[in-house]
Structure 1
Amino acid sequence: MPSVRAVHRLLLLGTTLFLGAAAAFGQAAQPDLTGRDFTFDATTQEAVFTGDARLTYPGVVLTADEIRFNTGTRTATARGHLVLTANSRRLVADEGTYNTTTGQISARNLRVGQFPVYVTGETVEGTFDALVFTNATVFFREDAAYTPAITASRLTYTKDRIVSADGLGVGLRGRQIFSLPRFEHSLDTDFLSYVTAQVGYRGRLGVFAELGFDLPVAEGVKLGADVGLYSARGVMIGPAGSYRHNDADGTLRGFFRSGYINDSGARRTDVLGRPVPRDREFLTWEHRQTVGEHFTLDGTFNYWSDSEVLRDFRGKEFRRIQEPDSFLEAAYTTDNTSLSLFGRFHPNRYHRVQERLPEFRFDLLPSPAALGVIQRLNASAAVLESDAFGTDPALRTSRLDAYYGLARPIAPTPWFTFTPVAGARVTHYTDALGARRDYTRSLGEVGFDSRLLASRTFDYDNAIWEINGLRHLVEPRLSYRYAPEAARGRAYIPPIDRRAFSTYLQPLSIADSRFIDDLSALNTARLSLGNVLQTRDAAYGSRNLAALTFAADYALDPAPGVRSLSDVHTELALTPAPWLRFEAYHRLNPHQPSTQELNTGIVLMDQEWWSLRLSTHFLKSNYEEYLVTYRRRLNETFDVEALWRYDARNSRLNEQSYGVWHRIGQTWAAKYEVSFYDGPRRESSFSLSVEVELLKF
């Protein structure tokens, strides 16, 4: 009597001969089937494999606890731990069928997707290219109760993309919170691009809760809302959203956020000392777009009903932008030209803005002409406006402006270059001052730029600091500009583009000055001395270890009350290792001598575990501040951070903040923070908050 093993071998041989005969008759490729145990059901014409059953077909692999293959219909029926793989796509189900001829799939309790988005369904029909789920669930990153999820009575999934869904509910895994009319989402883009929640207490806001979210409503478009509830102020709510589109012709992206509140709390006054109104709102919009290789469209719009609305309710955004700007610019660029249309608008009335309504500008970047001469051209036509502010009257003018310059580099040796320069600027104004209808100013400028370059190498190695040889570069520069009539016509020019407060050296040439309505006579030399210390780098060829630059201006014909020698400006940067960076800016009055300004910053870091930053900000007769920030990673779940801001002039700790970051699985990050404030300020002296943020998908 034959053994069991012999019977199995005979059945396997018979099935192999049967499949081979079928292949010869039908001229179609047959799958390769294997398993620990095998039987053949002659009644149903099915080969049955169990125990690590596996079906291999060109481009497809099917594994399960049991696989039954019907040679007549060329259908494989799998039960138990079904896994169907085609190239990079992978389906997991309890049981199902797969037709090797048509690629048709039918499954129960199937899961498909790629990190971080997955789709499950009670029943599924279709092919790898298009699957239709019933009673589907879309979840993100991990299968946990706190994971954001979408449910749908019917969902179509096509080529790694959810193309349509009906009967939608949105919430956490297994808990619907609200419904959506329709849903479409690509697995290679963010699903929830913006989700935050924060609860806590601040003295001037009271107990508060804030929630912000965006959800997809159309291809590349997400809409949502920002909602804030404040026990001492009321409810702030406003729509929010974002949009994104990429194709072969260009890119498009942008977002908007808004809020409105009928503020019932203590509103106090704005920056101009005026009472803050009860109805308060804001709107922020940003847009970035490219078309082809040459065209860009960028815009920002910021409307605040009063100067303090973001400071009171959106402190983080206020720290980034304290004077809102609104502009729109379209630009077409080539290798050496730029053509732009720029508009700057002023929807707010509590700070000064130089409006451009609009400005049309053409720039020819420095380009070779003839005989080694380099030419440049700037030309613009603008309608300018500046509203009355304080004691300054309202101003408006239409301005035509053009500058043309020539430069001829002369390099008698590799280490010395001398470049004489000459240029002319013509500017025409309408609505001139001094009882004139218009005014035209013509200016000339001559000068030179010169530079020396010297270097020396040193055979020095240090394994600890990863130094492989040293090279010291020294580059003295001397520039000079002479434009004695640059201040001409000040009595007639509407001073809209005028000087703003700055402690840094301004552009030397009239060609580069932005304050062209407020020019001064030029007879000035600028001397700078640059030093760079480098070492060899395997990845980039060389890297900077240190950089030190000194610069100062000397006016040969100074204005009354102005000394010939300006302050001496020094910049220092030390980057001896990836974990250490030090930067400093120093401004010295050489006539006293005394430090006028000093800003420093040092960063120490272990990129995986901790970072420490110490910075100082000193401006004589104005402020002296010291800032320390520290962050440490405790483990995979928790980080701690702290911030201290000290005011040395008033011997006061203006701000101290302590926080703990908590990563909840792969989906959420929570921050628990307590802050204390001191000194005269609009914000509360104490803040306690818990902020929850959805990690980006």
Structure 2
Amino acid sequence: MRTLACLILFLAQLAHLHAQAIPQESSSSQPKTILEAEEEVFYDEKTQRLVALPNARLSSGKLLLSADRIEYDRNRTQAFAKGRVILTNGTFRLLAQTLEINLQNGDFEARGVKAGYYPLAMESSVMKRENGIITSSDATVFLHQRHPLEPSLGLGSLSFDQNKSRLTGKAVSLKVGNRKIAGLPSLSGNIGRNPFRYGLHAGHRDRLGWYLGMEGNHRVSDSMDAQGKITAYEERGVFLAHKLSWREELDEGFRRGSLEAGWIDDQGNQRGLDLTGSAIEESRDYLHASSLNRFKRRWRLAGRIEWQEDSEVFRDFQRDRFNDHQWNDHFGELAYEADNWTASLMTRWQGNDHEAMIEQIPSLRFDLAPTPWPKPDLYNTLSLELAGFREKDDAGSLLRRSRKLDLGYQVQRPIRLANGLTYTPFLSYRLQDYSLDGPDAQRTWGEWGNDLNYVTHGDYDLQNETWGINGLRHVMDFSLSHRKLNRLDSENLSLIPAIDRSIIDLNLGPVDLLDSIEADDLEPQEVVRVGWGNHLLTRDGQGTRSLLSLQISQDLWLENESGDDLARNFHSGLQLNPANWLGIWGEAKIDLDRGETTRNSITAVLRDGRINQLELSYFNYLSLSDQWQFLASHRINERKAVHGALRLQGDRPKMPYWRVSLEFRPSTSWIWFFHLSERTGTSKENEWEGSVSARLFSF
């Protein structure tokens, strides 16, 4: 990965070294040039040179030249070294059989060269510098020292133009030991750019057969990277993928984004069906693009496209990344964020016909955070949304649509009753006006509410070096919330389509009228919720570190118009971080009326330095079967590490997934990965997979 970057740095050091001439005469402002030897230094009348031998040394400042024999021509400012030549300047070192160097302009010619700039080393038959251009013939580049299993880079010719800071390499090949493995493209690049790195992978999957491939990364510029991947499948054909990503920091913002595409002419006899039940075609491709930009600190521009020819192409050929790409999105948004208000223009559309989608074309929204006006203790909140909604099924057909004006306003006044005790009354109003294909519809809402909050804390002079505790602060808060929502007026209420609605909320739901963003299914309700929080903090340098955060909320009373659309919920969240080697976090949500688990999850991570790491997780969503997940890694030594994963499901545990992998570093540059896994019980991947991949650390 880094050999070529180091190679450029190495040549830059070499160029810098020889661009500096060695002074002929010493002065108070210039370092002395000293020629010495173990036995004698004499003047040769025939060659008109100073000769030093044996174990001769020529020094000037940081530059040191040593050899069995050194001849120095003061008139031409040239030095000639022969036998065990060593040229050193700081961290740069060059070894050669012979060396001729012009101390005035830095031009040189060396034969039988071995050179290095840690951690890079290079061998070359001939290396020379002339008029600012360094050239090398029959060069081999490697890390540290040669090894029979060490990958290296062979170059028939290598040149570096100091004037243009440009590197060019021809007749490039990948070698292991002295054996050529593969030819590589010619190299070219500028100083500061990391040209290429490569990796190899091979393995077997039941559905795809045996496969073999190569991947590589290219640093296009300081802010842009390009990646390419090609994989040949025994039963499917050749899969091609490439990705361009960029990241640039600005004075008052940043630019980030990526563009990725993949394609295969699938020759498989059993490609199967996509989510719509349609047969998958031979030509399969996808295009993913995302961008997030911030300008002038307040402007934000974001967008995403995740187009796929069929619903299974990414799952089939990018299986390791499918977990983060199960649901695709297509949107663009421009937003302005002030200190206490935001305005945004967003559009979301259906990009894949095989995925149902609620489109927003477009959505214009304005939000004002609680702002004091006209009195400092009277806080006003405002929200305004103008949006068009279109609900489409997984075949791309339009099911229903609406255009909506949604206006909300809230006023609140916190009243301090005692130290740490605050009472806050609320009044809220909301207007929802719908423009439909038939008669239009409208409804208005009014909500009144009350909040009672109490916060207290205690400080304790507790010290513990093992857990890194330097004093302890316990913060505890209690809250009691009441909201009563009434429908004030309505017109054609039954015609309002519930398009903009919440499907499943795994987190603590809102109680405020203005906090219900997806609100086509609003209904009159009354809720009483109690909350209790505990937080433990300790000093950490100039700041604080959270040791424990526990938040519990429960709906004591809930009554709504439908009687069953909403239910009383219990919700708790836990974060425990007593040390950097131990972490526990979890979340639970329970429907108290139905006795159903909406969400129950907890994860614990234990680290033993760089040697061991263990992660244990438990999941249960929507009262489905229990799932346990174990992740572990153990570093056997500096060259070997083993990783494992296991997932169990159900009361009578099934094993839907397991994985074992071995990481082996036979030398400084190679890293080998041996991987074996199996999936069962999914809709497609009832299969095992074995793979071998190699990361060429040098490239």
Is this a same-fold pair by TM over 0.5?
yes
Of 58, 71, 96, 2:74 maps to 71
Of 382, 385, 395, 2:390 maps to 385
* CA distance 1:356–1:620, change in 2 (3 Å): closer
Q: CA deviation at 1:347?
A: 2.0
Return the letter of the residue paired with 2:266: N
Q: Kindly indicate whether residue 582 of structure 2 is the aligned counterpart of residue 580 of structure 1.
A: yes
Of 613, 623, 626, 2:625 maps to 623
Of 311, 324, 343, 1:307 maps to 311
Give CA-to-partner distance per residue, 1:421-456, whole Å, 9 cap, x none.
4454445544x15x12x5555545443444211123
Structure 1 SS opposite 2:315: helix
Task: Map residues 194-209 of structure 1 onto 2, 5 A cutoff.
Answer: 195-209=198-212
> TM-score, with normalisation over the residues of structure 1?
0.82
Does the CA-based 8 Å contact 2:497-2:520 persist in structure 1?
yes
Structure 2 SS opposite 1:673: strand
Of 54, 57, 62, 1:53 maps to 57
Aligned to 2:695: 693
Q: Distance in 2 between matches of 1:358 and 1:629?
A: 43
Q: Distance in 2 between matches of 1:158 and 1:339?
A: 51
Q: Kindly indicate whether residue 421 of structure 2 is the aligned counterpart of residue 416 of structure 1.
A: yes
Q: Distance in 2 between matches of 1:253 and 1:115?
A: 34
Of 529, 534, 542, 2:532 maps to 529
Q: Distance in 2 between matches of 1:397 and 1:592?
A: 33
Return the letter of the residue paired with 1:395: R
Task: Map residues 532-681 of structure 1 onto 2, 5 A cutoff.
Answer: 532-534=535-537, 536-539=538-541, 541-555=543-557, 557-562=559-564, 566-591=568-593, 597-619=599-621, 621-679=623-681, 681=683
Aligned to 1:507: 510
Q: CA deviation at 1:610?
A: 0.6
Return the letter of the residue paired with 1:496: I
Structure 2 unpaired stretches of 5+: 1-21
Aligned to 1:265: 269
Aligned to 1:4: none
Q: Distance in 1 between matches of 2:159 and 2:369?
A: 54
> What RMSD, in angstroms, separates the aligned Cα atoms of the two structures?
3.9
Q: CA deviation at 1:601?
A: 1.6
Q: Distance in 2 between matches of 1:573 and 1:486?
A: 42
Of 335, 350, 355, 1:351 maps to 355
Aligned to 2:522: 519
Aligned residues: 663
Of 320, 330, 335, 1:326 maps to 330
Q: CA deviation at 1:351?
A: 2.2
Does the CA-based 8 Å contact 1:123-1:133 persist in structure 2?
yes
* CA distance 1:290–1:81, change in 2 (3 Å): farther
Return the letter of the residue paired with 1:571: G
Return the letter of the residue paired with 2:675: E
Does the CA-based 8 Å contact 2:208-2:234 persist in structure 1?
yes
Q: Distance in 1 between matches of 2:259 and 2:688?
A: 32
Q: Distance in 1 between matches of 2:105 and 2:498?
A: 76
* CA distance 1:258–1:176, change in 2 (3 Å): same
Does the CA-based 8 Å contact 1:170-1:176 persist in structure 2?
yes
Aligned to 2:237: 235
Does the CA-based 8 Å contact 1:254-1:287 persist in structure 2?
yes
Does the CA-based 8 Å contact 2:523-2:560 persist in structure 1?
no
Q: Distance in 2 between matches of 1:404 and 1:223?
A: 48
Return the letter of the residue paired with 2:422: T
Q: CA deviation at 1:259?
A: 2.4
Structure 1 SS opposite 2:662: strand
Structure 2 SS opposite 1:269: coil
Q: CA deviation at 1:243?
A: 4.2
Does the CA-based 8 Å contact 1:458-1:470 persist in structure 2?
yes
Structure 2 SS opposite 1:82: strand
Return the letter of the residue paired with 1:417: T
Structure 2 SS opposite 1:354: strand
Return the letter of the residue paired with 1:562: D
Of 81, 84, 87, 1:83 maps to 87
Q: CA deviation at 1:358?
A: 4.0
Q: Distance in 1 between matches of 2:384 and 2:128?
A: 64
What fraction of aligned residue pairs are identical, expressed as a percent?
22
* CA distance 1:181–1:409, change in 2 (3 Å): farther
> TM-score, with normalisation over the residues of structure 2?
0.82
Structure 2 SS opposite 1:125: strand
Give CA-to-partner distance per residue, 1:409-429, whole Å, 9 cap, x none.
444555233344445444554
* CA distance 1:21–1:231, change in 2 (3 Å): closer
Aligned to 1:477: 479
Does the CA-based 8 Å contact 1:601-1:614 persist in structure 2?
yes
Structure 2 SS opposite 1:317: helix
Does the CA-based 8 Å contact 1:332-1:338 persist in structure 2?
yes
Give CA-to-partner distance per residue, 1:640-684, whole Å, 9 cap, x none.
122221112453222222221112433332221222333354113
Q: Distance in 2 between matches of 1:177 and 1:152?
A: 14
Q: Distance in 2 between matches of 1:255 and 1:103?
A: 45
